[in-house]
Amino acid sequence: MEIKQSEFIISAVKPQQYPTDNRCEIAFVGRSNVGKSSLINSLTNRRKLAKVSGTPGKTRLINFFLINSSFYLVDLPGYGYAKVSKTEKASWGKIIETYLVKRPQLKKVVLLVDCRHKPTGDDIMMYEWIKHYGYDIAIVATKSDKLTKNELVKSEKLIRETLKLEKEKRIFYFSSLSKKGKEELLDNLFDICEDIQG
């Protein structure tokens, strides 16, 4: 698919602030700093559509981006960031959960994991949870520019084992630095919303 147009619509905390036009949504979840916002910028060919930062915890609200005037990409706050207070963690968790639990127009959840690390307990929980709610899931391993070919092979094995992925389940490797893997993502992530929009 080609993204010709992308537009920031709203930052939301509460469901009352979510878009109400019933367009199809694809959400990006993962640990803080894993590269969710960077991936959205890469896919849309925009440098600053979603705010990116070296400091974890940049995205604190749910940001909705309208794509080709037809569906939304949804940038969620990251989880697992150690340096925030318990109260703040609980509030982020609630923001993410409230959105994911009851959102009929949400058609796919893209789970990002850092290819350099073993998926964390939070990642496993998130994966199980998304499956439990019956959402279509795509797994993206980010920052692939940081590993050699050999290391990438090991990384895939570790991610598969840790998340207990089914054999057929594909992991998309991606680098927002080199844009390697971008075409595969454009070809595979959005079909579900394209079909719905006709």
Residue 54's binding partner out of ligand GTP, Mg ion, none, with CB under 5 to 8 Å set by partner kind: ligand GTP
Work out how close the CB of 2 gets to Mg ion at its nearest, in angstroms, rounded to a whole number.
24
Count CA atoms closer than 13 A to 70's CA, side-chain side.
Answer: 15
Is the backbone of residue 31 left (phi > 0), alpha (psi -120 to 50) or beta? Answer: beta
Work out how close the CB of 157 gets to ligand GTP at its nearest, in angstroms, rounded to a whole number.
20
Which two structure tokens, joined as six digits, stand for 156? 């895939």
Q: Which is nearer to ligand GTP, 19 or 56 (CB)?
A: 56
Work out how close the CB of 109 gets to ligand GTP at its nearest, in angstroms, rounded to a whole number.
14
Q: Which is nearer to ligand GTP, 38 or 44 (CB)?
A: 38
Q: Is 30 helix (H, G, I), strand (E, B) or coil?
A: strand
Q: Which is nearer to ligand GTP, 164 or 180 (CB)?
A: 180
Which two structure tokens, joined as six digits, stand for 171? 């992991």
Crossing angle, helix 121-132 and helix 149-163, to 10 degrees? 60
CA 13, CA 91: separation in Å to the nearest integer?
10
Q: Which is nearer to Mg ion, 70 or 120 (CB)?
A: 120
Work out how close the CB of 15 gets to Mg ion at its nearest, in angstroms, rounded to a whole number.
20
Q: Of the candidates 44, 46, 39, 60, which has an alpha carbon nearest to the alpha carbon of residue 138?
A: 39
Work out how close the CB of 20 gets to ligand GTP at its nearest, in angstroms, rounded to a whole number.
25
37 binding Mg ion? (CB under 5 A): yes
Strand partners, 30: 112
Q: Which is nearer to Mg ion, 76 or 163 (CB)?
A: 76
Work out how close the CB of 112 gets to Mg ion at its nearest, in angstroms, rounded to a whole number.
10
Cβ(72)–Cβ(65) under 8 Å? Answer: yes
Q: By the criterion CB under 6 A, which residues form the site for ligand GTP?
A: 30, 32-38, 52-54, 56-59, 77-78, 142-143, 145-146, 175-177
Residue 64 burial class via C-beta count within 10 angstroms: exposed 0-12, middle 13-18, buried 19 and up: buried
Residue with smallest beta-carbon separation from ligand GTP: 78
- From the list 6, 33, 42, 59, which residue makes contact with Mg ion (rule: CB under 5 A)? 59
Residues of this chain that interact with Mg ion (CB under 5 A) are 36-37, 58-59
